[in-house]
Structure 1
Amino acid sequence: MIQPLENGNYYHIYNRGINSTTLFKENKNYQHFLNLYDIHIEPIAETYAWCLMKNHFHFLVRIKDLNEIESEKKILPSQSFSNLFNAYTKAFNKSYTRHGSLFERPFKRKLIDNESYFQNLIAYIHNNPVHHKICDHPIEYPWSSYTTCLSDKPTKLKRNEVIEMFNDIDNFKYVHQLKSNPFSIELFLGI
């Protein structure tokens, strides 16, 4: 049974294309997904890390408490994610003349219940393109929150809280450079 997303809790939200199909063919697809994420997820969740890969994605979020959600019509957090996936699928299918499901169902979620898990997950998410041999360092990959964490530009990402988890920006960078076995991280994270 799929556990519901509960208000006030932190989660690793991840999923991939059905049969590992490509989710993002062009830069405009990545950008459109992020725009839809802002519409559907930002009102109900705080984002701490994210990475969009060609056929899958990862998000580290905290589902807001009910009193933090600014809406008269409160919907279940899992419905907000479903709305995101459905909106993106409709646009993607129309753009590429395809039909049917795009994402595996149900989308995956893991409760984050300690600081070590939280910190390791941030590094895991940002290093996903390195793990998949797309680049040598997360700073080279444009579709993750890594560079936002290093920036001082305005953002909805909980950048300050992320950096505090690593004590400071230098340690944040250092931890992301560590060469660790991604399979041991995946075992630790239960992926």
Structure 2
Amino acid sequence: MPTPKRAWYPGAIYHVISRGVRRTPIFLEQRDFEKFITILNDTLLYSPYHLHAYCLMTNHYHLLIGTKDSPLRKIMHSINGAYATWFNKKYNLSGHVFENRYSCHPVPSDYGFMSVSAYIHNNPRAAKICSNPFHYPWSSYHHYALPDIVPDFVNKNPKADSTIAPANLFFMHPDPRYWSTASLTNRPPRSPPKAFTKERLRQLFPTPLHLHYPQYVDREWKLSLLQKSNAKLIKNKE
């Protein structure tokens, strides 16, 4: 029986989940996470897309993807195919790295977009890796929870050029002491994949984003715990 085609149109947004075959690890060390992000960047050259949120776990990953001119299947074929080839070569393996097919769920509304984003960033909490998603290095949470980075020389020198493009500032690696808000941690964020964008969340949350988004993620986390607790009580009563 042929596999049914997934609905697609330019501008569609999807929550994509891809797991290791038989739920085996697909990231064994730091270099593997870094290589996957490099592949996200390389895919952008051939199949442009928007990446609104991501979280790379040990045996699976989550992406919140917005399509442009390329269908999702082409984007995912490029990402998973390139990584599987590299992974097998590195570890001298053969066969499938991922389950036969990634899962994807269309995100039809702004509320759905926000809740999926929070769900993705709360994955390390759900896996009991950390109690605060900010402490997990392989997700896009840092880039929402921290303010845009401005170089120190701009702050200290009023004559310095203040017209630097925000896109260029976003990819800089400044000393953490230069952040205007650094109360959460002193760990500098990694540069996000080039397809990553804050713009969709900026439309949904008031400015400054970093003051509001963590509160929303925490609220979604507490709500999910409450729902699980209620479901358990109902099951016990039955």
Give the TM-score normalised by structure 1. Answer: 0.84
Larger-gyration structure (1/2): 2
Query: 2:198 maps to which residue?
Result: 159
Runs of 4+ in structure 1 displaced over 4 angstroms? Answer: 182-185
Q: Deviations over 1:16-74 (max 9, x none)?
A: 1010010100010001011001111464211110000000111111101x3xxxxxxxx
- Contact residue 10 and residue 71 of structure 2 kept, 8 A: no
1:57 equivalent to 2:61? Answer yes
- What pairs up with 1:40-189 in 2 under 5 angstroms? 40-41=43-44, 43-64=47-68, 66=69, 76-149=71-144, 150-152=146-148, 153-154=170-171, 156=194, 157-168=196-207, 169=209, 170-178=211-219, 179-181=222-224, 184=227
Structure 1 CA distance for aligned equivalents of residues 19 and 96 of structure 2: 11
Does the C-alpha gap of structure 1 residues 182 and 88 become closer, same or farther in structure 2, counting only changes over 3 Å? farther
Count residues in correspondence: 176
TM-score, normalised by the number of residues in structure 2:
0.68
CA distance in structure 2 between the aligned counterparts of 1:5 and 1:21, rounded to whole angstroms: 30
Matched AA of 1:162: L
Secondary structure at the residue paired with 1:181? helix
Per-residue deviation, 1:163: 3.5
8 Å contact 1:52–1:58 — kept in the other structure? yes
Deviation of the 1:183 alpha carbon? 9.2
> Could you say what secondary structure the match of 1:175 adopts?
helix
Maintained 8 Å contact 1:14/1:107 = yes
Bigger RCO of structures 1 and 2 (CA < 8 A, at least 6 apart): 1
Bigger shift: residues 165-174 or 44-53: 165-174
Give the CA deviation at 1:103. Answer: 0.6
Distance of 2:79 and 2:37 partners within structure 1: 10
Percent of pairs identical after alignment? Answer: 28
CA–CA distance in structure 2, aligned partners of residues 57 and 159 of structure 1: 19
Q: Tell me the distance in 1 between the aligned counterparts of 2:62 and 2:225.
A: 15
1:86-114 alpha-carbon deviations (Å, 9 max, x no partner):
11111111111111001112111111101
**3-state SS in 1 of match to 2:223:** coil
Give SS of 1:180's match: helix
Q: Distance in 2 between matches of 1:183 and 1:100?
A: 41
RMSD: 2.0
| C-alpha spacing 1:91/1:151, structure 2 compared with 1 (3 Å) | farther
Unaligned runs of 5+ in 1: 67-74, 186-191
- For 2:23, the equivalent position in structure 1 comes to 20
Q: Measured at CA, do residues 80 and 12 of structure 1 come closer, stay the same or move farther in structure 2, by a change above 3 Å?
A: same
